[in-house]
Structure 1
């Protein structure tokens, strides 16, 4: 069985963070493991509290995983401060895992900054260069490229700018949506731009979509798919999870991560 590690925050309501990651991994029939960076008190209506783990405890978590069940892929999500970012980077440099997927949780879909400037700089300069692929949304891609994105051509230009900053070693998946009003995603990899068309699904329950997509990519990379195939397969998975129409909670609810499992009831 392939093994995948998520390094991210915990969502007590189960729709995002490590809970979404582990559900996605189970659906892909890989063995999921988790190193928690933060505890969050949240639900479908918002985030009501965040409590970070200490750098020493995160280091202990990562050492326990890498020294015993070495992952075939690593997904990195919410990391809220510079000390935790440096801790993760140190362990990745020590153990040198393959197939690192980084979801740069920097800016919300509404455009609000979620990381302080210092932590953002550490994420960009210390952690991103270690990743095999990063998956920014449009607001995050605008921050990383220092340019405004309002059309498809600018998605390509921004992805190239970001890739060049990372010396071309890291693939960049710019996720469509937001102001572009399209579900098409752009993968910039090996100096080539590849578009992945997606249909606009009429479902307001999108809590945890970014976590789920990046985890699905990690699962596919662990299963030895190439980068483009991993992204394509992950897109199909998340589209199915959205189309299933799960409706839980009072706000923007979670996806059905188990939509394609054959469960006898």
Structure 2
């Protein structure tokens, strides 16, 4: 159980699809005013649902803008695709957004999966296993570059790794991550948490060092306590354009405030 010493945090993933940027920026500000703890976007080049060729914006350019247009919330990608940028460059981008934001960046990262992105932008898609191997190679390079940059980051930038792969992804979480982000109902999350804990024990790391985060849909009063029992302390609601609806986010922040 890792929530004992961690505050409950609410995140919102503002999916940067089917909307103009003014609407995205306004929604980020409204989410901050509502009291969310983290505002995420995602790292894709095309919409994931709805019109496949619909409006869409790039992830990291947007994070740089959010670093200036928000003042309190943490910001990050849920998650950056490791395949799209050289690891040293990504570390430098993260350090720069960390400084612009005054130390509010979370470096969310994953191995990538959306084939249309790869094909459209000229990246080699390869295999799921190969992409995970690339992520395993990139994470130490990111850590090494962050340690060399001048000026250094304002803080130890938290690394969030997204995904539930039991043999490779959760092993990378145990070795490199400050936050694990997963999906699924409580039964699925319970299984993943158990496997993550065992990977931590194998490398002699305290599992409680890793914050547990989960994407949520549904009633906070019903789902929240079940996930809290499993050590989840961060709950993230995804919302899509063009008309971003923050009502579910508001319900989760109200639930958090009652705990």
Do they superpose with TM above 0.5?
Answer: no
TM-score by length of 2: 0.43
Give the number of the structure with larger relative contact order, counting CA–CA contacts within 8 Å between residues 6 or more apart. 2
